[in-house]
Structure 1
Amino acid sequence: MTISPMDIQQHQFKTRLFGYDTAGVDHFLEIVADQLERLLREHQELKEELARTRAELKRMQERESTLKETLVTTQKMVDGIRENARNEADIILTEAELKAERIVRDAEERRVQLINEIQEIKRQKISFETSLRALVESHLRLLDLEVVEVQRDREEEKLLDEPLPFDDVSTPLIEPVDDSNP
Protein backbone atom coordinates (compact mmCIF):
# COMPACT_ATOMS: atom_id res chain seq x y z
CA MET A 1 0.00 0.00 0.00
CA THR A 2 1.34 3.43 -0.95
CA ILE A 3 0.95 6.29 1.47
CA SER A 4 0.55 9.81 0.26
CA PRO A 5 1.20 12.94 2.34
CA MET A 6 -2.57 13.49 2.41
CA ASP A 7 -3.04 9.99 3.95
CA ILE A 8 -0.57 10.88 6.67
CA GLN A 9 -2.20 14.25 7.36
CA GLN A 10 -5.73 12.83 7.50
CA HIS A 11 -4.91 9.65 9.35
CA GLN A 12 -6.64 9.44 12.70
CA PHE A 13 -5.14 7.46 15.50
CA LYS A 14 -7.30 5.97 18.21
CA THR A 15 -6.73 7.50 21.51
CA ARG A 16 -6.19 5.42 24.61
CA LEU A 17 -5.69 6.18 28.10
CA PHE A 18 -2.15 7.20 28.72
CA GLY A 19 -1.45 7.17 24.96
CA TYR A 20 0.70 9.53 22.96
CA ASP A 21 0.32 13.24 23.04
CA THR A 22 -2.02 13.91 20.16
CA ALA A 23 -0.62 17.36 19.45
CA GLY A 24 2.90 15.98 19.34
CA VAL A 25 1.84 13.10 17.11
CA ASP A 26 -0.09 15.48 14.83
CA HIS A 27 2.91 17.81 14.66
CA PHE A 28 5.23 14.90 13.92
CA LEU A 29 2.82 13.52 11.30
CA GLU A 30 2.67 16.97 9.70
CA ILE A 31 6.48 17.11 9.55
CA VAL A 32 6.60 13.58 8.11
CA ALA A 33 3.85 14.46 5.60
CA ASP A 34 5.74 17.61 4.54
CA GLN A 35 8.97 15.71 4.12
CA LEU A 36 7.22 12.88 2.33
CA GLU A 37 5.55 15.42 0.04
CA ARG A 38 8.90 17.08 -0.62
CA LEU A 39 10.52 13.72 -1.25
CA LEU A 40 7.70 12.71 -3.59
CA ARG A 41 8.06 16.03 -5.48
CA GLU A 42 11.81 15.51 -5.67
CA HIS A 43 11.18 11.93 -6.73
CA GLN A 44 8.75 13.14 -9.43
CA GLU A 45 11.21 15.83 -10.53
CA LEU A 46 13.98 13.24 -10.64
CA LYS A 47 11.74 10.87 -12.64
CA GLU A 48 10.95 13.70 -15.06
CA GLU A 49 14.62 14.68 -15.23
CA LEU A 50 15.51 11.02 -15.74
CA ALA A 51 12.92 10.80 -18.52
CA ARG A 52 14.35 13.96 -20.10
CA THR A 53 17.86 12.63 -19.68
CA ARG A 54 16.83 9.29 -21.18
CA ALA A 55 15.13 11.09 -24.07
CA GLU A 56 18.23 13.26 -24.52
CA LEU A 57 20.41 10.15 -24.31
CA LYS A 58 18.20 8.45 -26.90
CA ARG A 59 18.46 11.52 -29.16
CA MET A 60 22.21 11.57 -28.62
CA GLN A 61 22.46 7.85 -29.38
CA GLU A 62 20.34 8.33 -32.50
CA ARG A 63 22.48 11.30 -33.44
CA GLU A 64 25.63 9.28 -32.74
CA SER A 65 24.23 6.47 -34.87
CA THR A 66 23.40 8.96 -37.63
CA LEU A 67 26.87 10.49 -37.33
CA LYS A 68 28.46 7.05 -37.46
CA GLU A 69 26.39 6.17 -40.53
CA THR A 70 27.29 9.53 -42.06
CA LEU A 71 30.94 8.95 -41.21
CA VAL A 72 30.84 5.47 -42.74
CA THR A 73 29.03 6.81 -45.81
CA THR A 74 31.48 9.71 -46.05
CA GLN A 75 34.43 7.35 -45.69
CA LYS A 76 32.99 5.14 -48.43
CA MET A 77 32.50 8.22 -50.60
CA VAL A 78 36.06 9.39 -49.89
CA ASP A 79 37.36 5.91 -50.66
CA GLY A 80 35.29 5.88 -53.85
CA ILE A 81 36.54 9.34 -54.82
CA ARG A 82 40.11 8.27 -54.11
CA GLU A 83 39.65 5.11 -56.13
CA ASN A 84 38.05 7.05 -58.98
CA ALA A 85 40.84 9.64 -58.82
CA ARG A 86 43.45 6.87 -58.80
CA ASN A 87 41.73 5.16 -61.75
CA GLU A 88 41.41 8.46 -63.59
CA ALA A 89 45.07 9.24 -62.89
CA ASP A 90 46.03 5.80 -64.19
CA ILE A 91 43.94 6.38 -67.32
CA ILE A 92 45.47 9.84 -67.84
CA LEU A 93 48.96 8.43 -67.29
CA THR A 94 48.32 5.55 -69.70
CA GLU A 95 46.91 7.94 -72.30
CA ALA A 96 49.88 10.26 -71.82
CA GLU A 97 52.30 7.36 -72.22
CA LEU A 98 50.50 6.19 -75.36
CA LYS A 99 50.47 9.74 -76.72
CA ALA A 100 54.18 10.13 -75.93
CA GLU A 101 54.93 6.82 -77.64
CA ARG A 102 52.87 7.92 -80.65
CA ILE A 103 54.69 11.27 -80.76
CA VAL A 104 58.08 9.53 -80.56
CA ARG A 105 57.02 7.02 -83.23
CA ASP A 106 55.69 9.80 -85.48
CA ALA A 107 58.88 11.81 -84.93
CA GLU A 108 61.00 8.76 -85.81
CA GLU A 109 58.91 8.14 -88.93
CA ARG A 110 59.25 11.81 -89.88
CA ARG A 111 63.02 11.65 -89.25
CA VAL A 112 63.33 8.60 -91.52
CA GLN A 113 61.12 10.32 -94.10
CA LEU A 114 63.29 13.46 -93.97
CA ILE A 115 66.46 11.39 -94.31
CA ASN A 116 64.96 9.67 -97.36
CA GLU A 117 63.89 13.03 -98.81
CA ILE A 118 67.39 14.46 -98.20
CA GLN A 119 68.96 11.43 -99.91
CA GLU A 120 66.54 11.81 -102.82
CA ILE A 121 67.37 15.53 -103.07
CA LYS A 122 71.09 14.67 -103.04
CA ARG A 123 70.54 12.11 -105.82
CA GLN A 124 68.54 14.68 -107.78
CA LYS A 125 71.31 17.26 -107.21
CA ILE A 126 73.96 14.86 -108.48
CA SER A 127 71.76 13.98 -111.45
CA PHE A 128 71.09 17.67 -112.15
CA GLU A 129 74.79 18.55 -111.82
CA THR A 130 75.68 15.69 -114.17
CA SER A 131 73.02 16.77 -116.68
CA LEU A 132 74.06 20.42 -116.38
CA ARG A 133 77.74 19.52 -116.81
CA ALA A 134 76.89 17.45 -119.89
CA LEU A 135 74.78 20.32 -121.26
CA VAL A 136 77.55 22.87 -120.59
CA GLU A 137 80.14 20.58 -122.18
CA SER A 138 77.84 20.05 -125.15
CA HIS A 139 77.38 23.80 -125.54
CA LEU A 140 81.12 24.36 -125.17
CA ARG A 141 81.74 21.83 -127.97
CA LEU A 142 79.14 23.61 -130.07
CA LEU A 143 80.81 26.93 -129.30
CA ASP A 144 84.19 25.45 -130.21
CA LEU A 145 82.71 24.20 -133.48
CA GLU A 146 81.13 27.59 -134.03
CA VAL A 147 84.47 29.29 -133.42
CA VAL A 148 86.17 26.93 -135.86
CA GLU A 149 83.42 27.55 -138.40
CA VAL A 150 83.66 31.32 -137.94
CA GLN A 151 87.41 31.12 -138.43
CA ARG A 152 86.94 29.02 -141.56
CA ASP A 153 84.38 31.52 -142.86
CA ARG A 154 86.81 34.34 -142.23
CA GLU A 155 89.55 32.52 -144.00
CA GLU A 156 87.23 31.87 -146.92
CA GLU A 157 86.25 35.53 -146.98
CA LYS A 158 89.88 36.46 -147.01
CA LEU A 159 90.43 34.11 -149.88
CA LEU A 160 87.50 35.52 -151.72
CA ASP A 161 88.71 39.01 -151.17
CA GLU A 162 92.11 38.20 -152.65
CA PRO A 163 92.55 38.60 -156.43
CA LEU A 164 92.69 35.44 -158.40
CA PRO A 165 95.92 34.52 -160.03
CA PHE A 166 94.10 34.02 -163.32
CA ASP A 167 94.05 36.60 -165.95
CA ASP A 168 90.85 35.60 -167.46
CA VAL A 169 88.06 36.17 -165.08
CA SER A 170 85.42 35.78 -167.71
CA THR A 171 85.54 32.03 -167.75
CA PRO A 172 83.41 30.56 -165.06
CA LEU A 173 84.96 27.95 -162.89
CA ILE A 174 81.77 26.01 -162.70
CA GLU A 175 79.75 25.14 -165.73
CA PRO A 176 76.11 25.96 -165.66
CA VAL A 177 73.73 23.04 -165.29
CA ASP A 178 71.11 22.54 -167.92
CA ASP A 179 67.76 21.90 -166.31
CA SER A 180 65.87 21.37 -169.56
CA ASN A 181 67.06 17.81 -170.05
CA PRO A 182 65.48 15.42 -167.82
Structure 2
Amino acid sequence: MAITALDIKDKTFKLKFRGYSEEEVNEFLDILVDDFEKLTRENRAQEAKIKMLEEKLAYFDEMKESLSQSVILAQETAEKVKTSARTESDNILTHANNQATLLLEESKQKANEMLREAADEAKRVAIETEDLKRQTRVFHQRLLASVESHLALVNSPEWDELLQPTASYIQNSDVAFREVVESVLETDHDLPQVADMASIDATRQFSPEEMAELQRRVEESNRQLEETIADQTPLLTDDVLFGISSSEEFPFELDSSDESLSFEETNELVLDSEIETENSNILEEDDSELNLNETQTFKLNFED
Protein backbone atom coordinates (compact mmCIF):
# COMPACT_ATOMS: atom_id res chain seq x y z
CA MET A 1 0.00 0.00 0.00
CA ALA A 2 1.41 3.33 -1.06
CA ILE A 3 1.79 5.98 1.64
CA THR A 4 0.31 9.32 0.89
CA ALA A 5 1.04 12.63 2.48
CA LEU A 6 -2.22 12.51 4.36
CA ASP A 7 -1.21 9.18 5.91
CA ILE A 8 1.98 10.68 7.13
CA LYS A 9 0.20 13.69 8.54
CA ASP A 10 -2.47 11.72 10.40
CA LYS A 11 -0.06 9.13 11.71
CA THR A 12 -0.05 8.93 15.56
CA PHE A 13 2.47 7.34 17.84
CA LYS A 14 2.12 5.93 21.37
CA LEU A 15 3.69 7.78 24.23
CA LYS A 16 6.48 6.08 26.11
CA PHE A 17 8.68 7.21 28.83
CA ARG A 18 11.78 8.88 27.75
CA GLY A 19 10.54 9.03 24.01
CA TYR A 20 11.23 11.65 21.24
CA SER A 21 10.04 15.15 21.62
CA GLU A 22 6.58 15.42 20.23
CA GLU A 23 7.12 18.92 18.89
CA GLU A 24 10.23 18.03 16.93
CA VAL A 25 8.58 14.94 15.54
CA ASN A 26 5.59 16.96 14.35
CA GLU A 27 7.83 19.56 12.71
CA PHE A 28 9.78 16.84 10.96
CA LEU A 29 6.56 15.21 9.83
CA ASP A 30 5.28 18.48 8.44
CA ILE A 31 8.48 18.89 6.47
CA LEU A 32 8.28 15.34 5.34
CA VAL A 33 4.67 15.78 4.24
CA ASP A 34 5.57 18.84 2.20
CA ASP A 35 8.46 17.10 0.52
CA PHE A 36 6.42 14.00 -0.11
CA GLU A 37 3.60 16.01 -1.67
CA LYS A 38 6.15 17.77 -3.82
CA LEU A 39 7.70 14.54 -4.89
CA THR A 40 4.28 13.10 -5.59
CA ARG A 41 3.39 16.01 -7.84
CA GLU A 42 6.69 15.79 -9.62
CA ASN A 43 6.26 12.07 -10.00
CA ARG A 44 2.85 12.51 -11.51
CA ALA A 45 4.18 15.16 -13.85
CA GLN A 46 7.02 12.88 -14.84
CA GLU A 47 4.64 10.02 -15.40
CA ALA A 48 2.47 12.22 -17.62
CA LYS A 49 5.53 13.37 -19.49
CA ILE A 50 6.75 9.82 -19.81
CA LYS A 51 3.38 8.77 -21.12
CA MET A 52 3.39 11.58 -23.65
CA LEU A 53 6.90 10.70 -24.69
CA GLU A 54 5.97 7.09 -24.96
CA GLU A 55 3.06 8.03 -27.17
CA LYS A 56 5.38 10.17 -29.32
CA LEU A 57 7.87 7.37 -29.40
CA ALA A 58 5.19 5.00 -30.54
CA TYR A 59 4.17 7.50 -33.25
CA PHE A 60 7.71 7.92 -34.34
CA ASP A 61 8.17 4.19 -34.29
CA GLU A 62 5.19 3.82 -36.55
CA MET A 63 6.46 6.67 -38.73
CA LYS A 64 9.88 5.09 -38.78
CA GLU A 65 8.38 1.89 -39.98
CA SER A 66 6.41 3.72 -42.63
CA LEU A 67 9.43 5.75 -43.62
CA SER A 68 11.52 2.65 -43.75
CA GLN A 69 9.01 1.01 -45.99
CA SER A 70 8.82 4.19 -48.12
CA VAL A 71 12.59 4.37 -48.31
CA ILE A 72 12.77 0.74 -49.23
CA LEU A 73 10.04 1.23 -51.82
CA ALA A 74 11.78 4.34 -53.10
CA GLN A 75 15.05 2.49 -53.33
CA GLU A 76 13.40 -0.35 -55.15
CA THR A 77 11.64 2.09 -57.47
CA ALA A 78 14.89 3.96 -58.02
CA GLU A 79 16.64 0.75 -58.85
CA LYS A 80 13.88 -0.18 -61.25
CA VAL A 81 13.94 3.27 -62.85
CA LYS A 82 17.71 3.16 -63.02
CA THR A 83 17.64 -0.26 -64.59
CA SER A 84 14.91 0.76 -67.02
CA ALA A 85 16.74 3.98 -67.89
CA ARG A 86 19.97 2.09 -68.44
CA THR A 87 18.18 -0.41 -70.63
CA GLU A 88 16.40 2.35 -72.55
CA SER A 89 19.62 4.30 -72.99
CA ASP A 90 21.35 1.18 -74.23
CA ASN A 91 18.53 0.60 -76.69
CA ILE A 92 18.61 4.23 -77.82
CA LEU A 93 22.38 4.12 -78.26
CA THR A 94 22.14 0.88 -80.18
CA HIS A 95 19.38 2.26 -82.41
CA ALA A 96 21.28 5.52 -82.91
CA ASN A 97 24.43 3.62 -83.82
CA ASN A 98 22.49 1.49 -86.27
CA GLN A 99 20.83 4.56 -87.80
CA ALA A 100 24.15 6.38 -88.00
CA THR A 101 25.76 3.39 -89.68
CA LEU A 102 22.85 3.10 -92.11
CA LEU A 103 22.91 6.83 -92.90
CA LEU A 104 26.67 6.70 -93.35
CA GLU A 105 26.37 3.83 -95.79
CA GLU A 106 23.57 5.57 -97.68
CA SER A 107 25.60 8.80 -97.76
CA LYS A 108 28.60 6.94 -99.10
CA GLN A 109 26.49 5.26 -101.77
CA LYS A 110 24.87 8.57 -102.78
CA ALA A 111 28.26 10.30 -102.79
CA ASN A 112 29.74 7.58 -104.98
CA GLU A 113 26.72 7.74 -107.28
CA MET A 114 26.98 11.53 -107.50
CA LEU A 115 30.69 11.24 -108.25
CA ARG A 116 29.98 8.71 -110.99
CA GLU A 117 27.25 10.91 -112.44
CA ALA A 118 29.52 13.96 -112.25
CA ALA A 119 32.31 12.03 -113.97
CA ASP A 120 29.91 10.82 -116.66
CA GLU A 121 28.56 14.35 -117.09
CA ALA A 122 32.09 15.73 -117.30
CA LYS A 123 32.95 13.14 -119.95
CA ARG A 124 29.78 13.97 -121.87
CA VAL A 125 30.48 17.71 -121.66
CA ALA A 126 34.07 17.11 -122.77
CA ILE A 127 32.86 15.04 -125.73
CA GLU A 128 30.26 17.68 -126.64
CA THR A 129 32.90 20.40 -126.25
CA GLU A 130 35.27 18.58 -128.56
CA ASP A 131 32.44 18.03 -131.03
CA LEU A 132 31.51 21.71 -130.88
CA LYS A 133 35.16 22.65 -131.35
CA ARG A 134 35.34 20.34 -134.35
CA GLN A 135 32.16 21.84 -135.78
CA THR A 136 33.55 25.31 -135.06
CA ARG A 137 36.77 24.48 -136.87
CA VAL A 138 34.80 23.13 -139.83
CA PHE A 139 32.58 26.22 -139.79
CA HIS A 140 35.66 28.46 -139.55
CA GLN A 141 37.28 26.69 -142.49
CA ARG A 142 34.10 26.92 -144.52
CA LEU A 143 33.66 30.57 -143.56
CA LEU A 144 37.28 31.29 -144.46
CA ALA A 145 36.88 29.50 -147.78
CA SER A 146 33.63 31.37 -148.40
CA VAL A 147 35.21 34.72 -147.57
CA GLU A 148 38.21 33.97 -149.76
CA SER A 149 35.96 32.87 -152.62
CA HIS A 150 33.83 35.99 -152.28
CA LEU A 151 36.95 38.15 -152.10
CA ALA A 152 38.11 36.48 -155.28
CA LEU A 153 34.67 37.12 -156.76
CA VAL A 154 34.72 40.76 -155.66
CA ASN A 155 38.25 41.26 -157.01
CA SER A 156 37.38 39.56 -160.29
CA PRO A 157 38.15 41.80 -163.31
CA GLU A 158 34.76 40.91 -164.78
CA TRP A 159 33.15 43.34 -162.32
CA ASP A 160 34.91 46.24 -164.07
CA GLU A 161 33.08 45.40 -167.25
CA LEU A 162 29.78 44.58 -165.50
CA LEU A 163 29.83 47.71 -163.36
CA GLN A 164 30.99 50.01 -166.12
CA PRO A 165 28.98 53.26 -165.92
CA THR A 166 26.17 53.73 -168.37
CA ALA A 167 27.86 56.88 -169.62
CA SER A 168 30.59 54.80 -171.24
CA TYR A 169 27.96 52.93 -173.25
CA ILE A 170 26.40 56.24 -174.17
CA GLN A 171 29.78 57.63 -175.17
CA ASN A 172 30.36 54.57 -177.35
CA SER A 173 26.94 55.16 -178.87
CA ASP A 174 27.89 58.80 -179.41
CA VAL A 175 31.02 57.72 -181.26
CA ALA A 176 28.96 55.48 -183.51
CA PHE A 177 26.41 58.24 -183.96
CA ARG A 178 29.19 60.71 -184.78
CA GLU A 179 30.50 58.37 -187.46
CA VAL A 180 27.01 58.08 -188.97
CA VAL A 181 26.51 61.84 -188.94
CA GLU A 182 29.91 62.49 -190.48
CA SER A 183 29.20 59.95 -193.20
CA VAL A 184 25.92 61.68 -193.89
CA LEU A 185 27.59 65.08 -194.01
CA GLU A 186 30.06 63.80 -196.54
CA THR A 187 27.24 62.88 -198.94
CA ASP A 188 25.73 65.25 -201.43
CA HIS A 189 22.41 65.58 -199.62
CA ASP A 190 21.24 69.07 -199.04
CA LEU A 191 21.42 69.87 -195.35
CA PRO A 192 19.81 72.83 -193.70
CA GLN A 193 22.17 75.69 -192.94
CA VAL A 194 22.97 76.15 -189.31
CA ALA A 195 23.95 79.51 -187.98
CA ASP A 196 26.48 78.10 -185.55
CA MET A 197 28.42 75.25 -187.09
CA ALA A 198 30.56 74.82 -184.02
CA SER A 199 27.86 72.76 -182.41
CA ILE A 200 24.85 70.93 -183.72
CA ASP A 201 21.94 69.83 -181.53
CA ALA A 202 20.64 66.51 -182.67
CA THR A 203 18.47 63.79 -181.35
CA ARG A 204 18.84 60.20 -182.09
CA GLN A 205 16.41 57.28 -181.85
CA PHE A 206 17.49 53.63 -181.63
CA SER A 207 16.08 51.29 -184.15
CA PRO A 208 14.36 48.04 -183.09
CA GLU A 209 17.41 46.09 -184.21
CA GLU A 210 19.69 48.18 -181.97
CA MET A 211 17.28 47.81 -179.06
CA ALA A 212 17.24 44.04 -179.54
CA GLU A 213 21.04 43.99 -179.61
CA LEU A 214 21.22 46.01 -176.39
CA GLN A 215 18.68 43.73 -174.73
CA ARG A 216 20.68 40.68 -175.83
CA ARG A 217 23.87 42.13 -174.37
CA VAL A 218 22.18 42.88 -171.05
CA GLU A 219 20.73 39.38 -170.86
CA GLU A 220 24.13 37.91 -171.69
CA SER A 221 25.72 39.98 -168.90
CA ASN A 222 23.08 38.81 -166.45
CA ARG A 223 23.65 35.20 -167.45
CA GLN A 224 27.43 35.52 -167.04
CA LEU A 225 26.95 37.11 -163.62
CA GLU A 226 24.67 34.28 -162.49
CA GLU A 227 27.13 31.64 -163.72
CA THR A 228 30.03 33.37 -161.96
CA ILE A 229 28.15 33.57 -158.67
CA ALA A 230 26.96 29.96 -158.97
CA ASP A 231 30.50 28.69 -159.70
CA GLN A 232 32.16 30.56 -156.83
CA THR A 233 29.48 30.17 -154.17
CA PRO A 234 30.86 27.91 -151.31
CA LEU A 235 28.93 25.93 -148.72
CA LEU A 236 27.59 29.10 -147.08
CA THR A 237 25.08 30.86 -149.30
CA ASP A 238 25.39 34.40 -150.53
CA ASP A 239 22.16 35.25 -148.77
CA VAL A 240 23.77 34.53 -145.35
CA LEU A 241 27.07 36.33 -145.94
CA PHE A 242 26.21 39.20 -148.22
CA GLY A 243 22.42 39.22 -148.57
CA ILE A 244 22.76 38.77 -152.36
CA SER A 245 20.71 36.12 -154.11
CA SER A 246 22.32 34.54 -157.13
CA SER A 247 18.91 34.35 -158.73
CA GLU A 248 18.67 38.14 -158.86
CA GLU A 249 19.23 39.52 -162.30
CA PHE A 250 21.55 42.31 -163.17
CA PRO A 251 19.68 45.49 -162.26
CA PHE A 252 20.14 47.16 -165.64
CA GLU A 253 17.56 45.71 -168.00
CA LEU A 254 16.26 47.05 -171.22
CA ASP A 255 12.70 46.59 -172.27
CA SER A 256 12.59 45.32 -175.83
CA SER A 257 9.10 46.70 -176.20
CA ASP A 258 10.53 50.19 -176.46
CA GLU A 259 10.92 51.09 -180.08
CA SER A 260 13.48 53.85 -179.59
CA LEU A 261 15.55 55.97 -177.23
CA SER A 262 16.05 59.69 -177.64
CA PHE A 263 18.97 61.85 -176.46
CA GLU A 264 18.22 65.48 -175.60
CA GLU A 265 20.10 66.15 -172.40
CA THR A 266 23.68 67.27 -172.20
CA ASN A 267 26.64 65.00 -171.60
CA GLU A 268 27.32 66.83 -168.32
CA LEU A 269 23.92 65.77 -166.97
CA VAL A 270 24.67 62.22 -168.06
CA LEU A 271 27.96 62.18 -166.19
CA ASP A 272 26.35 63.64 -163.05
CA SER A 273 23.64 61.00 -163.22
CA GLU A 274 26.23 58.24 -163.55
CA ILE A 275 28.22 59.55 -160.57
CA GLU A 276 25.11 59.55 -158.39
CA THR A 277 24.29 56.03 -159.60
CA GLU A 278 27.78 54.78 -158.68
CA ASN A 279 27.53 56.32 -155.19
CA SER A 280 24.28 54.45 -154.48
CA ASN A 281 24.18 50.79 -153.43
CA ILE A 282 24.55 48.94 -156.70
CA LEU A 283 23.45 45.65 -155.10
CA GLU A 284 20.01 46.97 -154.14
CA GLU A 285 17.76 46.60 -157.10
CA ASP A 286 15.34 49.33 -156.03
CA ASP A 287 18.12 51.95 -155.86
CA SER A 288 20.15 50.77 -158.83
CA GLU A 289 17.46 49.91 -161.35
CA LEU A 290 17.49 52.35 -164.17
CA ASN A 291 14.14 53.03 -165.74
CA LEU A 292 14.90 52.94 -169.42
CA ASN A 293 11.22 53.09 -170.30
CA GLU A 294 11.33 56.84 -169.81
CA THR A 295 12.58 58.93 -172.66
CA GLN A 296 16.02 60.43 -171.99
CA THR A 297 17.62 63.07 -174.12
CA PHE A 298 21.22 64.02 -174.48
CA LYS A 299 22.90 66.85 -176.27
CA LEU A 300 25.78 65.87 -178.51
CA ASN A 301 28.38 68.51 -179.31
CA PHE A 302 30.76 67.89 -182.11
CA GLU A 303 32.81 70.10 -184.32
CA ASP A 304 32.05 70.70 -187.93
Common fold, TM-score beyond 0.5?
yes
The Cα offsets for residues 134-161 of structure 1, whole Å up to 9 and x where unpaired, read as 2111111211211221232134235433
Percentage of matched positions with identical amino acids: 14
The Cα offsets for residues 46-99 of structure 1, whole Å up to 9 and x where unpaired, read as 666665555444434333322222222222222222223333333333333333
State yes or no: 1:89 paired with 2:86: no
Task: Provide the residue aligned with 1:121 in structure 2.
Answer: 114
How do 1:1-182 and structure 2 match up within 5 A?
A: 8=12, 24=17, 34=26, 41=33, 52-160=45-153, 161-163=155-157, 170=220, 172=223
**Structure 1 unmatched runs, 5+:** 14-19, 175-182
Amino acid corresponding to residue 85 of structure 1 in structure 2: A
User: Take 2:11 and 2:143, find their aligned partners in 1: how far apart are those partners?
Assistant: 168
User: Take 1:146 and 1:4, find their aligned partners in 2: how far apart are those partners?
Assistant: 151
Question: Structure 1 stretch 113-122 or stretch 94-103: which is displaced more?
Answer: 94-103
Query: When you count helix as a share of all residues, which structure comes out higher?
Result: 1
The Cα offsets for residues 19-54 of structure 1, whole Å up to 9 and x where unpaired, read as x8xxx49x66958x959x67x947777666665555
User: Take 1:89 and 1:7, find their aligned partners in 2: how far apart are those partners?
Assistant: 77
User: Take 1:6 and 1:138, find their aligned partners in 2: how far apart are those partners?
Assistant: 146
> How has the CA–CA distance of structure 1 residues 73 and 162 changed in structure 2, closer, same or farther, with 3 Å as cutoff?
same
User: Take 2:146 and 2:62, find their aligned partners in 1: how far apart are those partners?
Assistant: 120
User: Take 1:4 and 1:105, find their aligned partners in 2: how far apart are those partners?
Assistant: 96
Larger Rg: 2
> How has the CA–CA distance of structure 1 residues 141 and 86 changed in structure 2, closer, same or farther, with 3 Å as cutoff?
same
Amino acid corresponding to residue 107 of structure 2 in structure 1: L
Amino acid corresponding to residue 124 of structure 1 in structure 2: E
User: Take 2:42 and 2:20, find their aligned partners in 1: how far apart are those partners?
Assistant: 31
Question: Structure 1 stretch 52-61 or stretch 143-152: which is displaced more?
Answer: 52-61
RMSD: 4.0
Return the offset for 1:102.
3.2
Amino acid corresponding to residue 100 of structure 1 in structure 2: L
User: Take 1:5 and 1:158, find their aligned partners in 2: how far apart are those partners?
Assistant: 167
How many residues are matched?
A: 156
User: Take 1:129 and 1:97, find their aligned partners in 2: how far apart are those partners?
Assistant: 47
Amino acid corresponding to residue 99 of structure 2 in structure 1: D
User: Take 1:30 and 1:110, find their aligned partners in 2: how far apart are those partners?
Assistant: 115
TM-score using structure 2 length: 0.39
